[in-house]
Amino acid sequence: MPEAKVLLIVGDATETVDTLYPYYRLIEGGYKPIVAAPEKRKYQMVLHEVKPGWTITKEWEGYSIDADIAFKDIKPEEYVGIFFSGGRAPEYIREDADLLRITKWFWDQKKPCASVCHGVEIPARADIVKGLRMATVAKCKFDLEICGGIYVNEPCVIDQHMYSGRTYHDSGHFVGPWIAALDAERTKMGI
């Protein structure tokens, strides 16, 4: 029987909690999370927080994570869904042609997609957010809206087959509904 695999999109400076919360929830749900990045290698994650009295995000070094597969080697039809993690990584990986191709494929095939925080920069760059309601961190509101999306300041926004939250603080609100959508897709795929 084939494995129920789900892509987690990362790069250097991916936010640690944004990534590890869905990673372990997927395992708990019977999925095999596949960490995908520009290259198959180890990536440095970071921790982000806006400290009291600060107006910008403070960054600390977080754990590292190994990418299981490079974007160029992904065959999207082998996966149940996709997750766009936050942190600073989306700002530079969003220009990867293979990542954009994969993102469009998941959207066009109506597979369950999820995004948190800066992760919105990837579907925005892939030109799939026109008219789509999404949550993201407030400082990415412009990135979403300039690409035609609709910013919603809520912990869980579901529009079509996109599940989104503002930051990792919202993970307990939007990851569960996304996993329920993955369960339905897995059943449909017969795995």
CA 39 to chain centre: 17
What pLDDT is attached to residue 125?
98
3-class state of residue 156 by DSSP: coil
- What's the mean pLDDT in 19-36? 98
What pLDDT is attached to residue 1?
55
| CA–CA dist 16, 104 (Å, integer) | 25
Starting at the edge strand that comes first in sequence, how are the strands of the sheet with 157-159 ordered? 69-70, 32-37, 5-9, 79-84, 113-116, 162-165, 157-159
Bigger pLDDT: 1 vs 173: 173
69 contacts 95 by C-beta, under 8 angstroms: no
Counted domains in the chain: 1
How high is the mean pLDDT of the chain? 96
With bands split at pLDDT 50, 70 and 90, how would you rate the model's confidence at 96?
A: very high
CATH of the domain at 21: 3.40.50.880
Supply φ then ψ for residue 126, to 5 degrees: -80, 0
What pLDDT is attached to residue 63?
96
pLDDT tens profile 66-87: 999 999 999 999 999 999 999 9
pTM (predicted TM-score): 0.96
Q: Residue 56 above 70 pLDDT?
A: yes
Going through the chain in order, the beta strands assigned E by DSSP cover 5-9, 14-15, 32-37, 42-49, 58-66, 69-70, 79-84, 113-116, 133-134, 150-151, 157-159, 162-165
- What's the mean pLDDT in 6-21? 98
pLDDT tens profile 117-146: 999 999 999 999 999 999 999 999 999 999
With bands split at pLDDT 50, 70 and 90, how would you rate the model's confidence at 52?
A: confident
Q: Which domain holds residue 112?
A: 5-189
